[in-house]
Structures are given as C-alpha cells and as structure tokens.
C-alpha cells in the first residue's frame, strides 16, 4: 500500500480508523488525511465505541479482529446509536466473516490485503451521497401499501411502526419503492447506492436485501414486501 493519492476536491468528512495493528491504522490514517479527510484512530473495541459516540464520524473503517470486543460486536453496538457508514475489513479467505459483518450492520466490506486507492475511493463514494444537512431538497414520503419511507426523517414505518435501518438499507428500500413492481438488477442497485466506481462482489446487495426482509416482514401484514426475480434482481411488491 504505497500508492500516491492526490488531493482533488475531496469531500469533507470524518473517518474513524479502527484496527489493532497500529502501523496499519497509522498508514490508512495518513493516506486518508492526505486525501483531505478528518481522521481519528482507535485500537480496541471499547475505544472504538467510545470514540464513535463522542466524535460522531461519517465513516468508520472497522477491522474484525479487535481486542476487548471484536469488530462484529462493535458494529452492533455502534448501530444502536449511529447510522454512520461502516466499512468492515475482512480476511480475503473468510467470505463468511464478510457476510456476518454485513448482517451485523456494516454497509460494505473490503478484504485484506487491500489497495489504499480502493479504500479511499470507497470512502469518497459514500460521502458523495446527499445528506439531510447539506441543503439538498428532501422528497416527500414514499408510500407503498403499508410501507412508508420518509427521507426528511430518514425513517421507515410499516403498519405505523418504526423500523430501524442503516443508511445503505434505507437507500436500497427507497430505490425499490420509487419503482414499485419494476425489477432492478443487482448492478443497477450497486450503481445507484454504492457509486459507479465501486468495485466488489454484487452479492453484498443480497445480504442487505436479506436484512431488510427480516426487518420488514416481521411487521408486515403481508410478508414479501421485497420480491426476488430469480436470475434478474429485486422489486418492490405492489399492494
């Protein structure tokens, strides 16, 4: 990881780097700082949770193997008070770890060893997503049957009950709800939610859709809010 990252109008944002390998954490921190981000580091699970609560980062780069609490538990606890973007670092040989991380609330993952340019690109991509505080006009709530998606409150309700979702889950659900009954391919969802420059396994979409289904179908009078079109993609079921 010795790539040169030019500073070219980077988006502003806070990035918390969490890794118990302090030389690696420092290297990632240095490159992210050079790319224009505000950065901080934590090297244990409890320290990561404390720093996330106090500093309110926009993005957390989170390693799985941490002392005190592992990355999965850290992710679950942070999700209880923050919807920041969580990019989990996993070993290349452990696909199960990546899937488990996404199920725990991570938005995306990147495998070790990784290229620093890819990491910086992932961070830049998520910070290009519009936020409620940046002056972007907010659309009216979307209603599909018993499901309500409210961008102004970043809230999802079904049968008048609030459903806790991550930012990535919210964006996937919003895209499907904008076109009820229309099939969206995995690639279309990746392009819209993750960015056209994203490089990774499209199965990340399947895991997030699975998370959404578990959350939505538990409260739905009619299960199957999101439907699978085998071999193609997903669509929002029509009421």
What residue segments make up the domains of the chain, in order of their start? 14-129, 137-236
DSSP 24-50: HHHHHHHHHHHTT-EEEEE-SHHHHHH
pLDDT at res. 134: 43
User: What sign does the CA torsion over 95, 99, 101, 107 have?
Assistant: positive
Give the mean model confidence (pLDDT) for residues 81-105: 81
Q: Which residue has the higher pLDDT, 42 or 198?
A: 42
Are the C-beta atoms of 56 and 79 separated by less than 8 Å? no
Calculate ∠ Cα 96-198-234, nearest 5°.
Answer: 70
The CATH classification of domain 137-236, taken from the options 1.10.490.10, 2.60.40.2130, 1.10.10.10, 1.25.40.10: 1.10.10.10
Alpha helix positions (H), the chain = 22-34, 45-55, 71-79, 95-104, 116-127, 167-178, 186-193, 203-217
Q: Is the pLDDT of residue 8 over 80?
A: no
For residue 172, the SS3 value is helix
- Rounded Cα distance between 46 and 56, Å, is 15
Over residues 14-35, the pLDDT tens digits come to 999 999 999 999 999 999 999 9
Q: Which residue has the higher pLDDT, 43 or 218?
A: 43
Q: Is the pLDDT of residue 10 over 50?
A: no
Calculate ∠ Cα 47-50-56, nearest 5°.
Answer: 125
pLDDT at res. 132: 43
Give the mean model confidence (pLDDT) for residues 78-96: 82
Q: Is the pLDDT of residue 57 over 90?
A: yes
Q: Which CATH superfamily is domain 14-129 in?
A: Response regulator (3.40.50.2300)
Give the mean model confidence (pLDDT) for residues 134-149: 74
């Amino acid at each position: 990881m010795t790539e040169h990252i030019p500073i070219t109008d980077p988006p502003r944002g806070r990035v918390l780097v969490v890794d118990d390998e302090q030389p690696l954490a420092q290297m990632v921190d240095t490159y992210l700082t050079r790319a224009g981000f505000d950065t901080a580091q934590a090297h244990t699970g409890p320290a990561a949770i404390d720093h996330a609560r106090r500093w309110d980062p926009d993005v957390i780069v989170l390693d799985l193997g941490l002392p005190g609490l592992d990355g999965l538990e850290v992710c679950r606890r942070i999700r209880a008070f923050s919807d920041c973007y969580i990019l989990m670092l996993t070993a290349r040989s452990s696909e199960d770890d990546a899937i488990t991380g996404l199920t725990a609330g991570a938005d995306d993952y990147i495998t070790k060893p990784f290229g620093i340019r890819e990491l910086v690109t992932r961070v830049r991509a998520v910070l290009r997503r519009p936020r409620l505080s940046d002056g972007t006009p907010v659309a009216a709530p979307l209603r599909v049957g018993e499901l309500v998606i409210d961008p102004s409150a970043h809230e999802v309700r079904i049968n008048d009950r609030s459903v806790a979702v991550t930012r990535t889950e919210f964006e996937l659900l919003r895209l499907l709800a904008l076109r009820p009954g229309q099939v969206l391919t995995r690639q279309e969802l990746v392009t819209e939610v993750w960015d056209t420059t994203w490089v990774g396994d499209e199965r990340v979409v399947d895991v997030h859709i699975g998370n959404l289904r578990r959350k939505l179908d538990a409260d739905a009078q009619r299960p199957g809010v999101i439907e699978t079109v085998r071999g193609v993609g997903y669509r929002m079921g029509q009421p």
